[in-house]
Structure 1
Amino acid sequence: MESAALNARFGGRLLFKLDAMQVGGAFKFRGALNAILGGFDARFAGVVAFSSGNHAIAVSTAAALMDIPAIIVMPGDAPRTKVDQTCANGAEVVLYDRERDDRAAIGAEVVRERGYQLIAPFDNPFVIAGQGTVALEMVEQAGALDARLDALAIPCSGGGLAAGCALALSGVSPSARVTTVEPEGFDDMARSLEGTTVYRNTRLSGSICDALLSNAPGELTLPILRRHGADGVSVTDEAVLAAMHEAWRSLKVVLEPGGATALAAVPVRPPPRRGSHPRHRLQRRQCRRADVHARAWPASLRRSWDQTKRPPTG
């Protein structure tokens, strides 16, 4: 999807891959389904995952499709809609305190005590490969629009989507650059990509981007992104809110905060203020005149004018 108005303000073409329309409302279903189809060992009694929401929904959906029991470990401050959707998929939800508890330890306990297989949200080869199908589709769809991908701005938490896309692009569009986008204060991936040190976030909560609050880069994803020359940026919550508004205004699409970070990172000029464009000024002058020309209206409004001899209100 693209917007001519946004393209004009950007000075180039902006193509949007709307995986908010994917099953479960996010790209995560790709990796979750691939992990279950390709990596689930039938010797396990079920699957367990930890997630603030989107991976939870994805794994619970994929597990339900394959008739596999699922336990999902979620933070207590996860959006209620995501918790409810995960439960509606038939999964057992275990809540934890994001500030005090270790979700990985809780997941490991489920593995030991219940005999379930862990599907990590990003440090899983099958998950990474599944997320990489996003980039494969983008290259194909961009080609259908007579466009070539120069760069991808990708919302990032642990880096599964970014790493998968980097791997896919290395084969089908090696010149395309990958840039990860994280909330300000949670930019562990961006800082880690700048050198050889692996950084962790000191904060575990405090951003509206609940889907992007991993405390450290993935052990598998960071080396992949470094190897493929990715870089990273961070955006403020204020910029994310503005991007959500822009997505609705220009694309008529509702995005959750984490999904809007990529647009928030794009240097787009602000829209012209109402009345600042010459056409707007002309319209305002015309509206002040008493002799409004009815023939400029649609036929239905002209009929209303003819019947009432006054312009319709509202």
Structure 2
Amino acid sequence: MSEPSSLPVAFGDVLAAADRLRGVAVETPLLESDALNAMVGGRLLLKAEPLQRTGSFKFRGAYNAISVLRPPAVVAYSSGNHAQGVALAARLLGIPATIVMPDDAPRMKLEGTRALGAEVVTYDRWRESREAIGEAIAARTGAVLIRPYDDPLVIAGQGTLGLEMAEQAARRGAKLDAALVCSSGGGLVAGCAVALIHCLPGIAVYCVEPAGFDDHARSLAAGTRLANEPGAASFCDALLAPTPGEVTFPINRRLLQGGLVVTDAEVAEAIRLAFRHLKLVVEPGGAVALAAALSGKLDTQGRTIGVVLSGGNVDAALFARILAEAS
């Protein structure tokens, strides 16, 4: 599948983002485990974004957007990873930041955002609109809103992960047959798809979501944006967007092969196996792509699959409970 020129983010935008991020973001390693490979009958190359600054891929897009815009102040809404990415990027660029976060966000994400110097405004995710709160703050203060995924600059920044994955795989002589990328609003998988398909024509890129929040998978199948049913629950707190983004979905509809869905139980097992075999702490939302590979949601037999581990910001108590529940 080729990269259409009419998309809101092109490969050149990802290259420009990579230039801005060079020496600022971490080029995270592409890990491999003989044990995990044996489990899937193929080869998994795992992009370790828990080792990125602020513990997730979100720093890439936040820094790219803010470094281009250079606004007097920024505001963002996030369950935690985009919050910390924006907070650090703003601090590095000397710009004040206000972050709107759900009051039930993991404590380490709330504390981490405050520790980076941002002002945190909390809200009830089930009764209030974070978008409305963020837009009101921007209108009142003159701050620029840095959206978590529906922004071409953010998407291009996230695409640097896919660019690195392609380059790192090539350096070790591996040809990726497919890539699995977690999805909430769809910014990471959109950026990665732009980069990977340009570098590796013919690669199949899939988004992965938790059960109950499979809006991308259903939207891709229907060809139009669909919302999640109210009342769904998942411990993948980073992946609870209600519907695909307005900017991201046209990209993903054109470039993705499809969407895969995993249960919380499958995600928990992926977290345990990542800890056991990679010695890596992965948060629930960051482990869905690995869960899809390990649970057979994609044919991995004899194939080489790129897998994004997108973040590692999980509260210690939850992580300990997941490890203790090993089957």
**Normalized against structure 2, the TM-score is what?**
0.79
Q: State the percentage of identical aligned residues.
A: 55
Unaligned 5+ segments in structure 1 are 270-314
Q: Secondary structure at the match of 1:192?
A: helix
1:131 aligned residue (158, 162, 181): 158
Task: Name the CA distance, whole Å, in 2 between partners of 1:121 and 1:203.
Answer: 21
1:158 aligned residue (179, 182, 185): 185
1:11 paired with 2:41, answer: yes
Counterpart AA for 2:132: A
What's the counterpart of residue 141 of structure 1? 168
2:230 maps to 203
Map 1:37-186 onto structure 2 (within 5 A).
37-40=67-70, 42=71, 45-186=72-213
**Amino acid of the structure 1 residue aligned with 2:187:** G
Asked if the contact 1:186/1:203 (under 8 Å) is kept, the reply is no
CA distance in structure 1 between the partners assigned to 2:151 and 2:43 by the alignment? 33
- Distance in 2 (alpha carbons) for counterparts of 1:9 and 1:243: 12
Q: Which amino acid aligns with 1:174?
A: P
- Code of the aligned partner of 1:179: Y
Which range moved further: 227-236 or 13-22? Answer: 227-236
User: Mind listing any 5+ residue stretches in structure 2 that lack a counterpart?
Assistant: 1-30, 297-327
The Cα of 1:199 is off from its aligned counterpart by 0.7
- Partner residue in 2 for 1:20: 50
Whole-angstrom CA distance in 2 between matches of 1:188 and 1:268: 20
Instruction: State the distance in 2 between where 1:266 and 1:39 align.
Output: 38
Alpha-carbon distance, 1:189 to partner: 0.7
Q: Is the 8 A contact 1:122 1:158 kept in 2?
A: yes
Contact 2:267 2:284 in 1 (8 A): yes
Give the number of aligned pairs. 266
Q: Check 1:145–1:60 CA distance in 2 against 1; reply closer, same or farther (3 A cut).
A: same
Structure 1 match to 2:3: none
Separation of aligned partners in 1, 2:202 and 2:180: 14
Deviates most, 144-153 or 119-128:
144-153
User: Is the contact made by 1:98 and 1:204 (CA closer than 8 Å) also made in structure 2?
Assistant: no
CA contact (8 A) 1:193 1:231 kept: yes
SS at match of 1:166: helix
1:229 to 249, 256, 274: 256
Task: Quote how far apart the aligned CAs of 1:205 are.
Answer: 6.0
1:255 to 282, 285, 298: 282
Looking at structure 2, the residues matched to 204 and 90 of structure 1 have their Cα atoms a distance apart, in angstroms, of 34
Q: Who is 2:247 aligned against?
A: 220
Looking at structure 2, the residues matched to 27 and 234 of structure 1 have their Cα atoms a distance apart, in angstroms, of: 21
User: What amino acid is aligned across from residue 166 of structure 1 in structure 2?
Assistant: A
Cα offset, 1:257, TM superposition: 0.4
Structure 2 counterpart SS, 1:86: helix
Name the Cα RMSD after superposition: 1.2
Number of the residue aligned with 1:302: none
- Partner SS, residue 83 of structure 1: helix
Aligned AA (1:29): F
- Relative to 1, partners in 2 of residues 1:174 and 1:59: Cα closer, same or farther, differing over 3 Å? same
1:304 maps to what in 2?
Answer: none
Indicate which of 293, 306, 313 corresponds to 1:266.
293
Matches within 5 A, 1:293-312: none
Query: Which residue of 2 is the match for residue 34 of structure 1?
Result: 64
Tell me, in whole angstroms, the C-alpha distance in 2 between the residues paired with 1:49 and 1:87: 13
**Distance in 2 between the 1:251 and 1:92 partners?**
35
Query: Structure 1 pair 74/124, CA: closer, same or farther in 2 (3 Å)?
Result: same
Letter in 1 for 2:266: A
> Which letter does structure 2 place at the counterpart of 1:194?
A
Greater RCO, 1 or 2 (C-alpha within 8 Å, sep 6+): 2
